[in-house]
Structures are given as C-alpha cells and as structure tokens.
C-alpha cells in the first residue's frame, strides 16, 4: 500500500485533547524488556505490513516504562502469576498513517467497493468509524497521535498459565463492546467476568498514573495530550501540559 493514497492528511479532525500544549521533556524511547511482560505472539501491525523501517514497536518513554513495571508488580500482588500482556506500544507516524489507510481499504473491500470510487459521504462515514479506534495521523508536531509519542500502550492481562484473560472483546474491535464500561451492568457470567478483568486492568494502570481512553478498554497513556486532557478534567480541576510530544528516532 502506498502511504498517502487514500488518506488526506490536511483534513485533520481536531480532538479535544489537541488543545493541550506540549513541552516535551526529552526523555528517550527505551526498549521494553521482553522477559518482564507477556506479549502477543504476533504483532498485528507488523503482520499487516506496516512500514516500521527497522524500528521496533516495543518501545516506550523511559518514565512510562517504569510506571508500566510498577503496574505489573501491582498486578502480581493482586493476582500471583498474572502478567500484563502487551499488544502495541510505539507507533511511528508512518505506521499510524498506514494503519488508517489499511482499515479504510479493508472496510471498502468488505462493502464490495473500492477506495478510489467511494463517494464523499461513504468515505466520511467509514473514516468516522475508523477514527473511533485509530487516532488520525498528523505531521503537525502540535497534534501527534498518542502512540507516536511513545507514551501510550495497548495491553490486556494474561493469567498464570499465560492465557489471555477474558475481556469481552478483542483489542482493536471497532464496536460498542470496546467501550470500557460496556459490560458494567451485565448479568451473565461472561459479561461479569469481562467487566471484572477490565476493572482490574484499569485499577492497576490508574494507580501508576496511566489514563485510559474513553472508547478503548485496552489503551492507556501517561503524559501525552490525551492523558493530560483527561487529568485536567478531574475535580478539583488541574492545568497540566503534556510532557511527551512526537517521538522520532
């Protein structure tokens, strides 16, 4: 897929968190220690052909990694033998753009259409759904996608046998089931278990300063625009600035 073929980057849809100023602290991206966490056996975006160009997705800003380690330790105290199971971390800008285009192409094929022949209305409807899960790519340093800052991680839980814990929906599912509290009022055993595990994941991450995305139970970040925007909405309100902008290697 040729980057830029189906996505117009000059059509950025501003999100509320884009209003947050960035004063990057300059922390480096560091490699995630593979022996300390559980990982999905196949990285979905690498498998999809995303252009990492030799860069690893398994990197985070140094302090973000330290907080993730503390969350892992907290989890093991509550559930001995369990681990954080990581799906994705650092996402270069080129990868972010590729995955949005990849999803648009996939969606049009499923509808029996082609990207080139989409009407403006069809494109807008599909992009609205895609951008529910994927942040919009941006070349503007003032509006970086969360994963491109090195401050965001997509994760779930793995039990003592290394099995992915039941969360009610898989990571990256583009449906209402991805909303963090979707199963909050569930009365069936499956739904209750999903909500319990989602709550556990949120609680251990929140205790270490991470903020969860409002539409994705698996997405957590710390110190980027999205996380700071959420922190600034707390009571009493605070006025923080983001300390992580776009991270380029």
Hey, what are 214's tokens? 């409002």
In sequence order, what DSSP letters do the residues of 143-196 get, joined into one string? S--GGGGT-EEEEEEE-TTSPBPP-SS-TT--SGGGSTTTTTT--SHHHHHHHH
Hey, what are 93's tokens? 């800008």
What's the pLDDT band for 168 if we cut at 50, 70, 90?
A: very high
Q: b/e map of 202-225 (b: 16 or more CB within 10 Å)?
A: bebbeebbbbbbeebbbbbbbbbb
3-state secondary structure of 70: helix
Residue 28 has pLDDT above 80, yes or no: yes
Number of domains the chain contains:
1
Q: Specify the pLDDT at position 71.
A: 98
Q: Specify the pLDDT at position 23.
A: 97
Q: How confident is the prediction for the chain on average, in pLDDT?
A: 93
69 inside domain? yes
Residue 13 has pLDDT above 70, yes or no: no
What's the pLDDT band for 12 if we cut at 50, 70, 90?
A: low
CA distance 100 to 108: 12
106 inside domain? no
What's this model's pTM, rounded to 2 decimal places? 0.93
- Condensed to tens digits (0 to 9), the pLDDT of residues 29-68 reads 999 999 999 999 999 999 999 999 999 999 999 999 999 9
- Condensed to tens digits (0 to 9), the pLDDT of residues 204-227 reads 999 999 999 999 999 999 999 999
Hey, what are 16's tokens? 């509320």
Q: Specify the pLDDT at position 151.
A: 98
Q: Specify the pLDDT at position 239.
A: 84
Domain CATH code at residue 197: 3.30.1380.10
Q: Is 20 left (phi over 0), alpha (psi -120 to 50) or beta?
A: beta
Residue 10 has pLDDT above 70, yes or no: no
Q: Which residue in 47, 57, 137, 132 sits closest to 101, CA to CA?
A: 137
CA distance 121 to 161: 47
Q: Report the catalytic residues.
A: 216
160 inside domain? yes
130 inside domain? no
CA distance 50 to 58: 14
State the average pLDDT over residues 173-188.
97
Q: Specify the pLDDT at position 248.
A: 87
Q: Specify the pLDDT at position 203.
A: 98
Confirm if 85 and 155 have CB atoms less than 8 A apart.
yes
213 inside domain? yes
In sequence order, what DSSP letters do the residues of 123-140 get, joined into one string? HHHHHHHHHHHSPPP---
Sign of dihedral through CA atoms 172, 173, 174, 177? negative
CA distance 178 to 174: 7
User: Between 8 and 124, where is the model more confident?
Assistant: 124
* Contact partners, residue 48, CB within 8 Å, separation at least 6: 98, 99, 102
Residue 14 has pLDDT above 90, yes or no: no
Residue 2 has pLDDT above 50, yes or no: no
54 inside domain? yes
Residue 9 has pLDDT above 90, yes or no: no
Confirm if 195 and 183 have CB atoms less than 8 A apart.
yes
What's the pLDDT band for 6 if we cut at 50, 70, 90?
A: very low
105 inside domain? no
Cis peptide, bond prior to residue 236, ω within 30 of zero: yes
CA distance 126 to 101: 11
- Condensed to tens digits (0 to 9), the pLDDT of residues 67-84 reads 999 999 999 999 999 999
Hey, what are 87's tokens? 């799906």
Domain that holds residue 179: 13-94+143-231
38 inside domain? yes
Tell me the percentage of the chain whose pLDDT exceeds 90.
90
């Amino acid at each position: 897929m040729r980057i830029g073929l189906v996505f117009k980057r000059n059509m950025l849809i501003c999100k509320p968190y884009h209003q947050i100023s960035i004063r990057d602290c300059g922390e480096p991206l560091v490699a995630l220690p593979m022996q300390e966490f559980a990982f999905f056996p196949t990285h979905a975006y690498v498998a999809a052909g995303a252009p990492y160009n030799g860069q690893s997705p398994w990197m985070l800003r140094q302090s973000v990694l330290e907080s993730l380690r503390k969350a892992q330790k907290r989890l093991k105290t509550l559930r001995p033998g369990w681990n954080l199971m990581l799906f994705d971390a650092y996402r270069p800008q080129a990868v972010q753009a590729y995955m949005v285009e990849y999803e648009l192409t996939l969606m049009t094929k499923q509808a029996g259409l082609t990207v080139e022949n989409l009407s403006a209305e069809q494109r807008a409807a599909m992009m609205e759904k895609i951008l529910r899960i994927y942040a919009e790519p941006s070349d503007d340093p003032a509006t970086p996608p969360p994963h491109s800052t090195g401050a965001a991680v997509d994760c779930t839980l793995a039990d003592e046998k290394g099995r992915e814990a039941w969360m009610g929906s898989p990571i990256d599912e583009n449906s209402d089931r991805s909303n963090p509290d979707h199963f909050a009022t569930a009365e069936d055993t499956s739904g209750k278990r999903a909500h319990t595990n989602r709550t556990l994941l949120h609680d251990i991450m929140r205790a270490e300063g991470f903020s969860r995305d409002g539409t994705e139970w698996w997405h957590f970040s710390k110190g980027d625009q999205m996380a700071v925007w959420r922190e600034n909405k707390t009571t009493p309100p605070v006025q923080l600035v983001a300390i992580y902008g776009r991270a380029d290697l």
